[in-house]
Amino acid sequence: MNENCFTSLWYELNRIDNVDQQVNHILEFCKPYLQQSDKIAEQLTDFTEQSLSPIKAIAKANHQTERNIQIKQKKYFGYSVKEINRYQRFLKAIEYLENIASKPSKEDWFTIINDCGYYDQSQLISDFKYYLNLSPTKYLKFQQDICNPVN
């Protein structure tokens, strides 16, 4: 293409008054660019069995190596299962700390580490630094200052 395809699409959409027709026009415009989705990607998306590792189960079902499924996971979704598990563990820790921030009780870091699935305190601190650039203690103080300011 010698021109910006989205500029021509924008001009075409401006000539259409009906929103439904605009949506249909966009869908027609996109058809040549869309590909049939990968069978493995669909299986990863639809995987719901919580007790099994999606990588192991899908690799076994498709007679492929776990590494091959990991590569496809990263390719199609932009993140690995390990990365999403880390993020979900971090969100659980955040939720835990938010509940603590609203109560006058003292935090028990080892309970938080255990309940949220961390191996040790350094892993918890590392995740907080990675996602928020704060230590868990500073985050908790920040939450308490916002949620329960002392007047």
pLDDT in tens, 15-47: 999 999 999 998 888 887 777 778 898 888 888
Task: Enter the tokens of residue 84.
Answer: 């999403």
Percent of the chain with pLDDT over 90: 48
Residue 15's φ and ψ, nearest 5 degrees, are: -80, -10
Q: Cα–Cα distance between 64 and 17 in angstroms, integer?
A: 50
Task: Enter the tokens of residue 85.
Answer: 């598990």
- What pLDDT is stored for residue 148 in this prediction? 65
Check pLDDT > 80 for residue 14. yes
DSSP for 24-50 reads HHHHHHHGGG--PPPHHHHHHHH---T
Over the Cα atoms of the chain, what is R_g?
23
Q: Tell me the three state secondary structure of residue 65.
A: coil
Check pLDDT > 60 for residue 151. no
